[in-house]
Amino acid sequence: LRLNEMDALEKHEIFPTKFNFGSKTTDDYRKRVVYFSDDTIGNFSFTSRHLMKPFRAAMTDSLVQSYGLTQCMKVMKTEWASEDDLKVFHTNEYIEAIKVATKTKSKKRGGDADCPEFFGVLEYCRAVAGSSLSSARVMNTRTSDIIINWNGGMHHAKSYEASGFCFINDIVLAILELLKVYDRVLYVDIDCHHGDGVEEAFYTTNRVMTVSFHKYGDFFPGSGRLEVMAYIAFAAYTVFII
């Protein structure tokens, strides 16, 4: 939007620079809503022609801040995950493979079309996982009701491999962190692809219920059929909405 258009929007309170919440103040809401920001996420690239564009998260963050929305939220900086944090779910062998890939400077990189090796992939994994782990740790303090994090959601990654643009499963790591405090966790996945990585991680526990809204058929990852439910030991804790 041009500056004069923004002025007009503010004048008509479509995007007001000051917010009125009735009896509650902006500070009251800021305490209850935490917004995580990581100004490094846009520096990573899966390769120029890849569909996954981490800079989109950076653009979203920029828009949120430009509209002044952060004035009614508590803004926190992401703390990157450590290698030990990643290994809470992912195997040692897999993390070691990522460490090798992140140092590769050859034009002939490994991986596949969905998950190509690229310089800095380990740091990318630490940034993504750190965003979701930071969110979970704040939630565990019970001081906030809503945590906003644009940088996560990599629901296809398995403990032992990358899959579907996802190198690290930050969601599983965050849920495991939440389970340190909460008895049960409900995970709702509204991506159009089946959240197979998260579901697989919690197949055999009744402490996590996974609900996946997804398209099924000739569509990645090709899993999430309703018929599969009959073979899952804890089917009552896994829900498909196709």
Query: What is the DSSP code string of 121-151?
Result: HHHHHHHHHHHHHHHHHHHHTT--SEEE-SS
Report d(CA 149, CA 57) in Å as an integer.
Answer: 9
Bridge partners of 225, per DSSP, are none
From residue 77, alpha-carbon distances to 34, 69, 163, 241 in Å are 10, 16, 28, 35
Q: Is 194 a catalytic residue?
A: no
Which string of b and e fits 166-182 if b means at least 16 CB within 10 Å?
bbbbbbbbbbbbbbeee
The long-range contacts involving 17-24, CB below 8 angstroms and separated by at least 24 positions, are: 17/68, 18/71, 19/71, 19/72, 21/72
The region that residue 165 occupies, defined by phi over 0 for left and psi between -120 and 50 for alpha, beta otherwise, is left
Residue type, 37: S
Using CA atoms in the order 8, 11, 13, 15, what is the torsion angle rounded to 10 degrees? 50
Residue 191 near residue 155 (C-beta atoms within 8 A): yes
* Given 156, 193, 194, 214, the catalytic residue: 156
Sheet holding 238-241, edge to edge: 185-189, 208-213, 238-241
Catalytic residues: 156
